[in-house]
Structure 1
Amino acid sequence: MVRPRARAVHGTNFSREAHRYDAVRPGYPQAALDLLGWEWSELRVCDLGAGTGILSAQLLDLGAEVVAVDPDGPALSRNPAPYRLGTAEDTGLAAGSVDVVTVAQAWHWFDEAAAAEEIARILRPGGRLVILINQLDVRVDWVLRLSRIMHAGDVYRPAYVPAPAGFALRERAVVDFATPLDVDGIVDLARTRSYWLRSDETIRERVETNLRGYLSEEHPISGTVDLPYMCLAYVLDRL
């Protein structure tokens, strides 16, 4: 479990590697976004924990009216959507002001009880919460080994179901997909992980050496490889 103080510190660290984050972290598969069951173009959406805007950009492309909320100002400055500084527990948005709240790659950083209360407050009656979690597909043996070397921290099992108070699960899916990366890209992916961001240079050098050794000797990669992912997607109704 991530302690609240640790959430506050690590949750604002990602802007240090924002350029890499945007380059190597995957977007979210369309099948996961379609799980909502509504046309995004008709919706006002709060993208909560939006960071640099990987999901925000996709929602804008789908025609949604998006406001991005995050405590990390430098990360938000890269977000293409209108944004405001705020947290999952205190967004600063008006009550009943959005149709959908999306949380992509950020649910584990929240104080779930406080966040659920705030999300319910800003959603209109009948609004929905969408939680998206991209994870390396550790069901694949070589990816499991890779994730352990980089200390990926992908902690949710496919059977996981979020259950915040005041919400009821409507839909869920595990969507398999892949993103193309070469060895340098995989090393850059490790550099965007919280383990890397909070480690000293000695540990970082060890991780990079181990990664490059694994990808040249135990599981050799030449050129670009399709790195397997799974997206855990959930749609919850506000009660």
Structure 2
Amino acid sequence: MAGPRMPAAGREAHGRCFGTAADVYDAVRPGYPDALVDAIAADGGAVLDLAAGTGKLTRPLLERGLEVVAVDPDGQALARNPARGILGTGESIPLADGSVDLVTVAQAWHWLDPERSAAEIARVLRPGGVLWIVLNQLDVRVDWVLRLSRIMHAGDVYRPHWRPELGPGFGRVEARLDEFSTPVGVDDIVDLAATRSYWLRSPRHIRKRVEANLRDYFAEEHPVALGTRLDLPYLCLSYRAQRLTDAGSA
């Protein structure tokens, strides 16, 4: 849950490769539960969707009438985002001090340097503003999904006690869990694997092997009839923290 452990240069490079699969990402990656988006929107005001990518969270926030600016280092992904987009990173946010009321980081905290990004987020948030960190992951508490995640090299591990470390600029982190599922076919699951960082940074022969292993899994180990759709269970893990009025009181 804490994200991949890799050197900063590798984290930065892999975190910018998702635009190459933007169409597939939009088609097969799940959105976020309505109840969670409503809770985020309730914090209102001017919103920075940080590491916003193609806009899986940006869109429902805009639909709820919020003013959103999207920041991401990947221009290909950002081009698909419906909000006003600015190139930038969590470690260097191109916004003024205290300029937003709400920051969201969806599906991306593990690609950021947590210490530097938390400080930057605290800088652009007004005192009393709110940070939401959101992560969809496969529900690996379910045996067949755990096996699937391993074949995909998804890296999804449920650690219920994990919290992001945000430093002195923020108060207590509140955690929330929303369970949901999405209907998918085997081809969709192969496409889903193709949006994962392991796939995107792997050579062609590795990708072919992962696809073959997935199709074999659903043909033999966990059989799914041709054309059948199954419900793929997810957990949406979210973490909310408020920017302290006096950072020194943390």
Shift of 1:37: 7.5
Distance, in Å, in 2 between the alignment partners of 1:10 and 1:63 is: 33
The SS at the match of 2:172 is: strand
Counterpart in the other structure of 1:236:
241
Distance, in Å, in 1 between the alignment partners of 2:159 and 2:38 is: 22
Partner deviation per Cα, 1:128-164 (whole Å, 9 max, x = no partner): 0000010000000000000000000224522211121
Aligned-partner residue type, residue 164 of structure 1: L
Counterpart in the other structure of 1:180:
183
Structure 2 residue 164 is the aligned partner of structure 1 residue 162: yes
> Which TM-score applies when normalising by structure 2?
0.92
- Report if aligned partners of 1:163, 1:169 keep a CA contact under 8 Å in 2: no
Aligned-partner residue type, residue 72 of structure 2: D
Unpaired runs of 5+ residues, structure 1, are: none
Distance, in Å, in 2 between the alignment partners of 1:31 and 1:6 is: 35
Shift of 1:213: 0.4
Taking structure 1 as reference, are residues 182 and 233 closer, same or farther at Cα in structure 2, changes over 3 Å only?
same
Q: Give runs of aligned pairs for residues 65-80 of structure 1, distance below 5 A.
A: 65-80=67-82
The SS at the match of 2:239 is: strand
Shift of 1:101: 0.3
Counterpart in the other structure of 2:102:
100
Shift of 1:171: 2.7
Q: Give runs of aligned pairs for residues 32-181 of structure 1, distance below 5 A.
A: 32-36=36-40, 38=42, 40=44, 43-165=45-167, 166-181=169-184
Distance, in Å, in 1 between the alignment partners of 2:35 and 2:159 is: 19
- Report if aligned partners of 1:35, 1:171 keep a CA contact under 8 Å in 2: no
Distance, in Å, in 2 between the alignment partners of 1:95 and 1:126 is: 13
Q: Give runs of aligned pairs for residues 184-203 of structure 1, distance below 5 A.
A: 184-203=187-206
Partner deviation per Cα, 1:47-90 (whole Å, 9 max, x = no partner): 00001111001110111100000000011000011110000011
- Report if aligned partners of 2:139, 2:145 keep a CA contact under 8 Å in 1: yes
Aligned-partner residue type, residue 193 of structure 1: R
Shift of 1:234: 1.0
> In structure 2, which of residues 1, 15, 28 is the aligned counterpart of residue 11 of structure 1?
15
Aligned-partner residue type, residue 212 of structure 2: T
Distance, in Å, in 1 between the alignment partners of 2:162 and 2:237 is: 9
Shift of 1:25: 0.3
Taking structure 1 as reference, are residues 37 and 21 closer, same or farther at Cα in structure 2, changes over 3 Å only?
closer
Unpaired runs of 5+ residues, structure 2, are: 245-250
Shift of 1:34: 3.6
- Report if aligned partners of 2:140, 2:157 keep a CA contact under 8 Å in 1: no
Partner deviation per Cα, 1:81-106 (whole Å, 9 max, x = no partner): 11100000111101111000000000
Taking structure 1 as reference, are residues 64 and 160 closer, same or farther at Cα in structure 2, changes over 3 Å only?
same
Partner deviation per Cα, 1:6-39 (whole Å, 9 max, x = no partner): 1211011001111000000001112223444725
Superposed CA RMSD in Å reads: 1.3
Name the % identity: 60
> Which TM-score applies when normalising by structure 1?
0.96
- Report if aligned partners of 1:2, 1:109 keep a CA contact under 8 Å in 2: no
- Report if aligned partners of 1:168, 1:237 keep a CA contact under 8 Å in 2: yes
- Report if aligned partners of 1:178, 1:226 keep a CA contact under 8 Å in 2: yes
Aligned-partner residue type, residue 196 of structure 2: R
